[in-house]
Structure 1
Amino acid sequence: MGNEDLNGGDKLSMFRKVKPYLAMVSLQFGYAGMYIITMVSFKHGMSHWILSVYRHVVATLIMAPFALVLERKVRPKMTLPIFLRLAVLGFLEPVLDQNLYNMGMKYTSTTFASATVNVLPAITFIMALIFRLETVNLKKIHSLAKVIGTAVTVSGAMVMTLYKGPELQIIKGQSGNQNNNATTEASNWVLGTLMLIASCGGWASFFILQSFTLKLYPAELSMTSWICFLGIFEGAIASLIFERDMRVWSIGWDSRLLACVYSGVVCSGMAYYIQGVVTRERGPVFVTSFSPLCMIITAALGSVVLAEQVHLGSIIGAIIIVTGLYTVVWGKSKDSLNTNEGKGEGQELPIKDDTRSGSNNFESIEVNVPVQMKGVGKSVLPTART
């Protein structure tokens, strides 16, 4: 019995270690599906402003009941500083990031847009360094790996963006002109690229602010519900400003409704919650490091569903990006090991306190050393991502 209990404990311990990786990989499949469904809805006349509002209506209706029931005993008291942070979070991702991304995707293509998102880990890494959520010691191999991996990831995205190469015909008889946004005017293409990069900046800011807010409000389900709820009103105000035709608010039983429901449940409700939990456990850089996988999945689905052409440059860039991704993840894993051994630099954020009863977060098996922030008397929030 002793050996069986030991083996069972080892398996449980291994599963706890793997859970953040499985969660983030699964989330990338969810995002890839959203990009395809969203682009189809745009072709049927869906406004990206209205989509942003409706998806958060769905997300609020789905997540709020769970938050009210499961976190009723652990939810901190709402204060004005917390509410203001939640309001900013509700603007950064539900309004700023999503609308800039959707506009950029309409001007370019789903594959190009998902490739541009690969600058997200680099932007997040730089912002994490500025706010001291991430530490780098170039004398340490794993810290050097995080820097090199980030640079390799961005290089792969640049290759995929700048070098197209010959077309690869994945589906026999596929037309290079069918639903191919590569013929978009150069001015729109440049504008779309700038919008996509700006959206990544908003998304990275969301992850950083989410990390700090979780310290004051360590209730992921409730935070998710608040972000979605506040995003409804902020998104509605933006929609009324930019969409003067009230008919755009009307949707039918078609891809437009599917886009609202799918993106609301999977990419707003579930995604905000999962990213919050994993951010508490591994930090914002770990969460954004998996975004390159979404580009690969989206490129494959875009070729099949939207008949978008895949070029040799996309394949080469994808290989480079995956290499950089695994380099960053390896460096982050060594961060955790070094923290446990107490040999120097700690993880970017300390893990959460598991004494909270009724918590539905990933269980942590590590104890990290808190990192003091400049100007803050207490350690940065526990970390157990978008």
Structure 2
Amino acid sequence: MTRRWSFYMDFLPIVVIASNEFSDVALVILYKAATLQGMNNYVFVAYAYAVGTSVLLPITFFKRRSRVVPPLSFSILCKIVLLGAIGSSCQIMGYTAISYSSPTLSASIGNLIPAFTFILAVTFRMEKLAAKSRSSNAKVIGSIISIAGAFVLTFYKGPSIMNSSLLHQPVDFLKSEDSSWAFAGILLTIVYLMFSLWYILMVHILKEFSDEVTLVLLYTITATIISTVVALLSVPNASAWKIGLNLSLISIVSSGIFGKLISSIVYAWSLRLKGAVYVTSFKPLQIVFSVALAVIFLGDTLHVGSIIGAIIISTGLYAVMWGKSREEIEEDVGSSESPSTDNAPLLQSCRIETFENKTNGNV
């Protein structure tokens, strides 16, 4: 039982979260390729959320019949609506920025999420920060190291190691430059600050409403409504809403199922299990995956800076995970000690009663 619980608490979240970050990078690259064929980003977000909602709706209906769902109050419902508004706004603004820049820039600026999330978590007292605590120091130092490693990977190339191209005609949309590059960078910074707030808000909701599947369903319904209204107001042309059997359809379906549905459930599950700081500490992996995909499929050159940056990021992630596990051990020790103090009077009374019985028996 202990081994299963250790696997569930320690190893499984690492694999799931890291896989989810890889999926997010792949979906962004697929989206960028679809926009080059003329797909509108507003229409894309609305369709993707609609696909995710339509897939999750029957799943939630059948799962609700086999389990007890916690009560849904008006306060929780309002918070979920706010979560949907923040999430859909981030998606619309983020994909707009990517259409002006590249997935690599998005992954690079996404390294600010751990710092933003940690600051917000400490501000809202969702994370403990004690100067003399080894676990707190490990989380702070690990977050800083991960961000530093991501910036090393982004801005320092160094000597080239290898050039592996599986495609004879590399696509250069990962390296595109645009006059609106600075605008995209500012927009992405705002987006990732809002994403950090989204993580914090979801953790707060999960403390009151622990059903991840129902929460994600209500979130996707809200995000679908908001993104559809925004898309209809922004793109009134009916021809822009027509999607054929092409890369755009593949991108929409993939993003709806893996990005809006599975990714949201993974985030909800891991946030409830580990917290916002732990989950967002994996964000610097996106730049590693982005560089790796560019080398494998786009024929980019692998540089020494990429290897050094990846090693630094891994070190930072290990420090954060160690700090989080240390914190959980300290909490478990504290909780195990408290019952013993509570039971002390009962033990004392039992001993007194036993002593009195023995004394009466000897008289």
TM-score, normalization by structure 2:
0.84
Residue 61 (structure 1) aligned to one of 45, 48, 54: 54
Q: Counterpart of 1:287 in structure 2: which amino acid?
A: V
Distance 1:50-1:112 versus aligned 2 partners, 3 A rule = same
Residue in 1 that maps onto 2:149: 156
Question: Within 2, Cα distance between the matches of 1:108 and 1:49?
Answer: 16
Moved more, 261-270 or 296-305: 296-305
Q: CA deviation at 1:12?
A: 2.1
Question: Within 2, Cα distance between the matches of 1:209 and 1:180?
Answer: 34
3-state DSSP of counterpart to 2:163: coil
Residue in 2 that maps onto 1:74: 68
Equivalent residues of 1:211, 1:284 under 8 A apart: yes
Task: Give the alignment of 1:79-228 within 5 angstroms.
Answer: 79-93=73-87, 95-165=88-158, 170-171=163-164, 178-185=171-178, 187-228=179-220
Question: Within 2, Cα distance between the matches of 1:69 and 1:155?
Answer: 46
Question: Within 2, Cα distance between the matches of 1:123 and 1:313?
Answer: 25
Question: Within 2, Cα distance between the matches of 1:86 and 1:229?
Answer: 10
Residue in 2 that maps onto 1:369: none
Residue in 1 that maps onto 2:348: none
Deviations 1:273-321 (A, max 9, x none): 1211111111111111112223212221133334556555444333322
Q: CA deviation at 1:216?
A: 2.8
Q: Counterpart of 1:37 in structure 2: which amino acid?
A: L
Segments of 5+ residues of structure 2 without an aligned counterpart are: 337-363
Are 1:45 and 2:31 matched, yes or no?
Answer: no
Task: Give the alignment of 1:321-336 within 5 angstroms.
Answer: 321-336=313-328
Equivalent residues of 1:89, 1:210 under 8 A apart: yes
Task: Give the alignment of 1:279-298 within 5 angstroms.
Answer: 279-298=271-290
Q: Counterpart of 1:48 in structure 2: which amino acid?
A: N
Alignment length, in residue pairs?
A: 334
Residue in 1 that maps onto 2:29: 36
TM-score, normalization by structure 1:
0.79
The higher-RCO structure (CA 8 Å, 6+ apart) is 2
Distance 1:290-1:222 versus aligned 2 partners, 3 A rule = same
Equivalent residues of 2:162, 2:301 under 8 A apart: yes
Decide which structure has the larger Cα Rg and report it: 2
Percent identity, aligned pairs only, is: 28
RMSD over aligned Cα atoms:
2.5
Equivalent residues of 1:71, 1:219 under 8 A apart: no
Q: CA deviation at 1:62?
A: 1.5
3-state DSSP of counterpart to 2:180: helix
Distance 1:176-1:190 versus aligned 2 partners, 3 A rule = farther
Residue in 2 that maps onto 1:349: none
3-state DSSP of counterpart to 2:284: helix
Question: Within 1, Cα distance between the matches of 2:143 and 2:31?
Answer: 29
Are 1:256 and 2:251 matched, yes or no?
Answer: no
